Amino acid sequence: MTIRRATAIGPANIAFVKYWGVQDAALTLPYNESLSMNLDRCLTTTTVEFDPALNADEVTLKLHGQDEQPATGRPFDRVAAQLDRVRALANIETQARVRSENNFPSDAGIASSAAAFSALTLAAVAALGVDLSERELSVLTRRSGSGSACRSIPTGFVYWRNDGTDAGSYAESVAPPEHWALADVVAVVDPGVKSVTSADNHRLTATSPYFPVRLQEVLGRVEQTLTAIRDRDLGQLGAICEADAVSMHVVSMTAIPPTFYWNAGTMAVIHGLRRWRNEGLFGYFTIDAGPNVHVICAQQDAAEIEQRLRALPEVQFTIANGPGAGARIVEQG
Amino acid sequence: MTIRRATAIGPANIAFVKYWGVQDAALTLPYNESLSMNLDRCLTTTTVEFDPALNADEVTLKLHGQDEQPATGRPFDRVAAQLDRVRALANIETQARVRSENNFPSDAGIASSAAAFSALTLAAVAALGVDLSERELSVLTRRSGSGSACRSIPTGFVYWRNDGTDAGSYAESVAPPEHWALADVVAVVDPGVKSVTSADNHRLTATSPYFPVRLQEVLGRVEQTLTAIRDRDLGQLGAICEADAVSMHVVSMTAIPPTFYWNAGTMAVIHGLRRWRNEGLFGYFTIDAGPNVHVICAQQDAAEIEQRLRALPEVQFTIANGPGAGARIVEQG
* CATH (domain of A53): 3.30.230.10
Q: Work out the minimum CA distance from A73 to partner chain B, whole angstroms.
A: 28
What is the number of CB-based contacts under 8 A between chain A and chain B?
61
Cross-strand bridge partners of residue B171: B160
For residue A61, pLDDT over 80 is answered with yes
Is A248 within a domain? Answer: yes
Which are the contacts of A282, defined by CB distance < 8 A and separation ≥ 6?
A234, A235, A238, A276, A297, A298, A301
Count helices and strands in chain B by DSSP H and E runs: 8, 14
The Cα A241–Cα B279 span in angstroms is 37
Is the backbone peptide bond immediately before B257 cis, with ω within 30 degrees of 0? Answer: yes
Residues A201, A255, single domain; the answer is yes
Classify B239 as helix, strand or coil: helix
Which positions ≥6 away from A234 have C-beta within 8 Å?
A: A182, A228, A282, A284, A296, A297, A298
- Closest Cβ opposite residue B209 in set A213, A253, A264: A213
Q: Name the amino acid, one letter, at B321.
A: N
Would residue B208 count as lying in a domain?
yes
Query: What is the arrangement of strands in the sheet containing B317-321, beginning at the earlier edge strand?
Result: B283-286, B293-298, B182-188, B317-321
Does the pLDDT value for residue A196 go beyond 80? no
Say if residue A267 is in the same domain as residue A125: no
Q: Which of A133, A160, A178 is the last residue of a domain?
A: A178
Average pLDDT over residues B216-243: 98
- Of the candidates B250, B262, B268, the beta carbon closest to that of A250 is on B250
Residue A219: CA count within 13 A, CB half-sphere? 6
The pLDDT of residue B36: 98
Q: What is the pLDDT of residue B268?
A: 97
Is the same domain home to A220 and A315? yes
- The ipTM, to two decimals, is 0.91
Q: Are A62 and A100 in the same domain?
A: yes
What's the distance, CA A247 to chain centroid?
A: 18
> Which tens digit of pLDDT belongs to each residue from B297-320?
999 999 999 999 999 999 999 999
Q: Is the pLDDT of residue A195 over 70?
A: no
**CB B246 to CB A253 under 8 A?**
yes
Half-sphere exposure of A136 (CA within 13 A, CB side): 8
Contact indicator for A173, A135 with CB cutoff of 8 Å: no
Are B134 and B73 in the same domain?
yes
Please tell me whether residues A128 and A255 are part of one structural domain.
Answer: no
**Residues of chain B found within 8 Å of residue A246, distances taken between Cβ atoms:** 253-254, 258
CB-based contact A70:A47 (threshold 8 Å): no
By the 8 A CB rule, do A271 and A242 touch?
Answer: no
From the CB of residue A212, how many other CB atoms can be counted at a distance below 10 Å?
12
User: Please, which residues bridge with residue A317 across strands?
Assistant: A188
Cross-chain Cβ contact B254/A258 below 8 Å: no
CA proximity to A294, closest of A11, A4, A13: A13
- Residue B53 reports pLDDT greater than 90: yes
Domain that holds residue A132: 4-178
Domain membership flag for residue B132: yes
Would the CB atoms of A263 and B267 count as touching at under 8 Å?
A: yes
Q: What is the mean pLDDT of residues B274-282?
A: 97
- Total structural domains in chain A? 2
Tell me the chain B residues in contact with residue A217 when contact means C-beta distances shorter than 8 Å.
209
Q: Does residue A120 form part of some domain?
A: yes
Chain A residues at the B interface, defined by Cβ less than 8 Å, are 209-210, 213, 216-217, 242-243, 246-247, 250, 253-254, 258, 260, 262-268, 270-271, 274, 314
Which residues, 6 or more positions from A68, have their beta carbon under 8 angstroms from its beta carbon?
A60, A61, A62, A99, A101
Chain B residues in contact with A278 (beta carbon < 8 A) = none
Q: What CATH number has the domain bearing residue A298?
A: 3.30.70.890
Q: Are A86 and A140 in contact (CB under 8 A)?
A: yes
Q: Which of B276, B319, B281 is nearest to B298 (CA)?
A: B281
B59-76 b/e with 16+ CB inside 10 Å = b? bebbbeeeeeeebeeebb
Please indicate, yes or no, whether residues B190 and B162 belong to a single structural domain of this protein: no
Confidence of residue B78 (pLDDT cuts 50, 70, 90): very high
Same domain for B155 and B237: no
Segment among A15-29, A189-203, B86-100 with least mean pLDDT:
A189-203
Query: What string of DSSP letters covers A7-27?
Result: EEEEEEEEEEE----EEETTT
Contact B250 A210 (CB under 8 A): yes
CB contact under 8 A, B267 and A262: yes
> If you measure CA to CA, which chain A residue comes closest to B258?
A243
- Verify whether the Cβ–Cβ distance A264 to B265 is below 8 Å: yes
Distance CA B176, CA B182 (A): 12
Taken in order A258, A263, A269, A272, the sign of the CA dihedral is: positive
Place A65 in a pLDDT band, splitting at 50, 70 and 90.
confident
What pTM was computed for the model?
0.93
pLDDT range class, residue B1, cuts 50, 70, 90: low
Residue range B249-259, pLDDT digits in tens: 999 999 999 99
Could you tell me the maximum CA-CA distance found in chain B, to the nearest angstrom?
66
Residues A128 and A263 in one domain: no
User: pLDDT tens digit string along B169-185?
Assistant: 999 999 999 999 999 99
Distances (CA, A) of A229 to A300, B214, B312: 17, 33, 43
Query: For position A193, what pLDDT does the model report?
Result: 58
Residues A30, A165, single domain; the answer is yes
| Structural domain contains residue B173 | yes
Exposure class string for B228-256: b at 16+ Cβ within 10 A, else e: bbeeeebeebbbbbbbbbbbbbbbbbbbe
Query: Taking a C-beta distance cutoff of 8 angstroms, is the pair B321, B39 a contact?
Result: yes
A199 in a domain, yes or no? Answer: yes
Residues B17 and B157 in one domain: yes
Same structural domain for residues A148 and A84? yes
Side-chain half-sphere CA neighbours of B263 within 13 A: 19
Instruction: Report pLDDT digits (tens) over A133-173.
Output: 999 999 999 999 999 999 999 999 999 999 999 999 999 99
Query: What percentage of chain B has pLDDT greater than the value 90?
Result: 91
Nearest chain A CA: its distance from B254 CA (Å): 7
Contact yes or no for A260 and B268 at CB 8 A: no
pLDDT band at A194 (very low <50, low <70, confident <90, very high): low
Is A112 among the domain residues? yes
Tell me, what's the pLDDT at A6?
Answer: 98
Q: Band of the pLDDT at A1, cuts 50, 70, 90?
A: low
**B74 part of a folded domain:** yes
CA distance A278 to A294: 19
Last residue of a domain, one of B178, B213, B243: B178
Partner-chain contact B254 A274, CB within 8 Å: no
Confidence of residue B98 (pLDDT cuts 50, 70, 90): very high
Q: Chain B: nearest CA to A308, how far in angstroms?
A: 17
Question: For an interface test with B, which of A190, A208, A254, A277 has the most B Cβ atoms less than 10 Å from its Cβ?
Answer: A254
Number of neighbours of residue B5 by Cβ within 10 angstroms:
20
Distance from the Cα of A192 to chain B's closest Cα (Å) equals 15
At B200, is the pLDDT very low, low, confident or very high (cuts 50, 70, 90)? confident
B147, B178, B209 - which closes a domain: B178
- Measured between CB atoms, which of A242, A246, A266 is closest to B267? A266
Which residues in chain A have Cβ-Cβ distances shorter than 8 Å to B274? 260
For residue A46, CA distances in Å to A21, A80, A96, A246, A273 come to 28, 14, 12, 34, 36
